[in-house]
Structure 1
Amino acid sequence: MKTNSSSESVDGCTVNDQMVPFTVLYGFIFLTGLIGSLLALWAFVRSRNAKKCMNVYLINLLISDFLLTLALPFKIAVDLEVAPWRLKIFHCQVSAVLIYISMYASIIFLAFVSADRYLQITQSSRLYRIQEVGFARMMSAVVWTLVLFVMVPNMAIPIKDIPEKELVTCAEFKQKLGLHWHMLTNFLCMAIFLNASAAVLVSNGFVLKRLWGSRGGSEQERASSRQATRNIAVVTLAYMVCFVPYHGVRTPYVLTQNQIITSCPVKRHLFLAKESTILLAVMHLCFDPILYFYLSHSFRQRVTEAFKPRGNTYTLAQGPMQAEQLLAEGGIQVQDSGELAVQNS
C-alpha cells in the first residue's frame, strides 16, 4: 500500500526525481555495450590463440562487462519509475551491487592489462614468470575473490521493511549495519581505485616514454611508433574520463547516505553529481571492445576476417619487394603458414 508522501524520502528530502533523462543515455550504452560484448565473446570463443596472459585479463574484463550489461536494464526500469516495488528491492540488493562489482573488477583488470603491456615491451627475463598464463589466471581469481568479498555483504546484509512509495533510494532500505558496511566499502573501493590508477598511469607512462625514445629509424617504424603512442594516450584518457570524476564525488555522496551531510540542497546536488559521474563510469562498456581490438591480436584477426570482403586468394613467396608493394596496395593477408596472401575483392 502506497503512502501519501510517495515523492518524499524519510527525511523529507527528495533527491532522485530527475532520473528519466539519464535513462536515454543508459539505454544507448546498454545497446552499444551489448553488441560490442557479444562480438568480443564470439571472437574470443573462435580464437585459436587465446592462451596468452593479455587475453586472460581481457576475457575477465569481458566477464565484468557482461555483469554490467545484465544489471543495466534493472537500473533503467527503476529510473524510469516503471519498476514494481519488488523490482526496486531487487535492484538495490542485487543489480545495483553488480554495477559496482563490474566497475571495480574492470578497473583492476585494466591495471593488469596496462602492466602486462609494459612487461611485453621491456621483455625482462626477471619478470618472465608473472607473464605466464598460469599467473594471470591465479591473479584473476584473486581479483574476483577480493571484489566479491568487498561487495557481496551489501547484498547479504538484511534490509529494512519500509512502506511502498514511488521514489525511494537504496540507502532507505539499509539498516545501520548495512550503512556502516557501505561506508567501509567506499574506503576499500577508493583504495582499489587509487592503486589501480597508479598502475595504469605508471605503466602507460613508461610505455609512452619508451616509444618516444624509439622514434628514430625508418619512416614505417616512426609511423608505427606514433600510432602506438596515440592508442596508449587514448586508452589512458578514456580511463581517466570514465573513472576519475566518479571517485571525486563518491565519498561526499556516501556521507549524505549516512546523514553526516544533512543539507537537502547539498544532498540533491551530490546525488545528481553521483549519477552523472557513474554514467561516465558505465561508458567504459562502450570503450572496452575498442580496447580488445587494439590489444588482442586474435580478437583483431577474427573481427577483420569476419568483415573482410570475400574473394579469391593467391599465395605468393615472401619477397621483400613484393611484400612492400602489396602492403601499399592494402591487399595483404597473413596466413597461419606464414605465407602472404592477396585478397581480391
Structure 2
Amino acid sequence: MNNSTEMTKEECVLNQVVLTRVLPSLYTIIFFVGICLNGLNLWIFCYIPSDRSFIVYLKNIVVADLIMTITFPVKILSDAKIGHEMLYIVVCRFSQVVFYLNMYIGILFLAILGFDRYYKIVMPMQSSSFQTVSFSKFISAGIWITMAIITVPNMILTNKPSSGTGKTNCAQLKSPLGVQWHKASNYICIAIFVFVFCLLVVFYLSISRKIYKSHQRLRRNSDARRASKRNIYSILFVFFVCFVPYHVCRIPYTLSQTGSNYSCQVRNTLFYIKEITLLMSASNVCLDPVIYFFMCQPFRKRLFEKLHINNSIQETERTVRISSTRIL
C-alpha cells in the first residue's frame, strides 16, 4: 500500500526538464525577438507625431509591450534555477506583477483600438470627442492609473519572508490581506478580459457587416478586399491567439488549485496547459507589430524609410494604402 502511494506521488511530480529547460528556452526566444521588435517599434514611433488618437493608442501598446518584455530575464533565470533564491522572490513580488499589469493594459488598449475602428467604419460621418488626441491621452492615462491601482498592491502585500526550504510558492509570500487582494485582482482581471472579449465580438460583427456591404456596393477588387480585411482583423488575430487560450484555461486551473476533487495528474496537466497558454500570452510582445504594420500607414512608411527598403514593394504598399483610406 505504501509503495503504491509513493509511486502515485512520484508519478505526479512535475517534469523538471519542462519547467527548468523547455519553458525558459522558449521565453528566451520570445525575449530576444520581443526586445528587438519593440525596440525597433519604439524607434519608428519616435518619428511619428501623435496627431491622431489611433497613433496615441498604438504608442501606449508599444510601451506596455516593452515593459512586459523587460520582465522576462528574471523569470527565465528563476525558472531555470540559475542564480540566488532571491530571484524567485523578485519574480513573485515585482516582475510577475509588472507582467500581468502590462498584459491587461495591452488587452484594454486592444479594446480601445477595436472601438476606434468600429466608430470610424460603422459611423464615419459622426464626430466625437473620443476621436480627439487630447481625449485619447486622457483615456490612456486613465487605463495606466486604474490598472496600477488594481495590481501594484500585490507588490506591497507580498511582504512575508521566504521559508528558506526551496519549496516556497508566491502565495506563501503574501500577507493575509495580500492573499485576498490577489484573489480580488484576479477576478477583476478576468472580468476585464470577458468584457473586452464581448466588446470585440460585437464591434467586429458590425465591422464585418459594414465591410461586406461596402464591397458589394462598390464592387472592389479582391486584392483590395483582402487588404482591407487584413488591416482590420489583425487586432482580432492577436487577441485570440495570445489571450483567449490562457483565459479559457485559467478558470479550471484556478479551481484545481483551490478544490480537493482533482487528482494530482489532472492538476499537473492543467498546470502545463496554463504555462503553455501563458507563454502564448507572452508572445503578444512579438505579435503586436502585426497590428502596427497592417493598420498604421505612417508606421509602414517610416519603417520602409528607416530600413531603406527599395521601391520594389511600393506597388503592394500602394494597394494596402488605398484599401485602408477609409479605415485610417
User: Shorter-chain TM-score: which interval?
Assistant: 0.7 to 0.9
1:179 aligned residue = 179
Rg larger in 1 or in 2?
Answer: 1
Q: Residues 216-275 of structure 1, C-alpha deviation per residue, up to 9 Å, x if partnerless? A: 467765421222113433431331121111112223333455566675333322222211
CA distance in 1, matches of 2:129, 2:199: 19
2:3 aligned residue = none
CA distance in 2, matches of 1:253, 1:218: 49
CA RMSD in angstroms comes to 2.8
Q: Is the 8 A contact 1:179 1:258 kept in 2?
A: no
Cα 1:219–1:149 shift into 2, 3 Å: same
TM-score norm. by structure 2 comes to: 0.84
1:104 aligned residue = 104
Q: Is the 8 A contact 1:108 1:143 kept in 2?
A: yes
1:86 aligned residue = 86
Q: Is the 8 A contact 1:101 1:147 kept in 2?
A: yes
2:23 aligned residue = 22
CA distance in 2, matches of 1:25, 1:89: 22
Cα 1:243–1:219 shift into 2, 3 Å: same
Q: Residues 134-189 of structure 1, C-alpha deviation per residue, up to 9 Å, x if partnerless? A: 11111111111111111111101143223324454322322332222111111101
> Structure 2 matches for 1:186-335, cutoff 5 A?
186-216=186-216, 221-258=221-258, 263-309=263-309
1:42 aligns with 2:43: yes
- The aligned amino acid for 1:292 is Y
Cα 1:173–1:261 shift into 2, 3 Å: farther
> Structure 2 matches for 1:53-132, cutoff 5 A?
53-132=53-132
Q: Secondary structure of the residue that 2:81 maps to in structure 1?
A: coil
CA distance in 2, matches of 1:258, 1:137: 40
2:34 aligned residue = 33
2:7 aligned residue = none
CA distance in 1, matches of 2:284, 2:250: 18
Alpha-carbon offset, residue 204 of structure 1: 2.1
Q: Residues 90-134 of structure 1, C-alpha deviation per residue, up to 9 Å, x if partnerless? A: 111000111101110000001101110121223445452111111
Cα 1:261–1:330 shift into 2, 3 Å: closer
Percent of aligned pairs with the same amino acid: 31
TM-score norm. by structure 1 comes to: 0.80
Q: Secondary structure of the residue that 1:214 maps to in structure 2?
A: helix
CA distance in 2, matches of 1:137, 1:328: 35
Q: Is the 8 A contact 1:241 1:280 kept in 2?
A: yes
CA distance in 1, matches of 2:318, 2:188: 51
State how many pairs are aligned: 306
Q: Is the 8 A contact 2:42 2:63 kept in 1?
A: no
Cα 1:83–1:170 shift into 2, 3 Å: farther
- Which one has the bigger helix percentage? 2
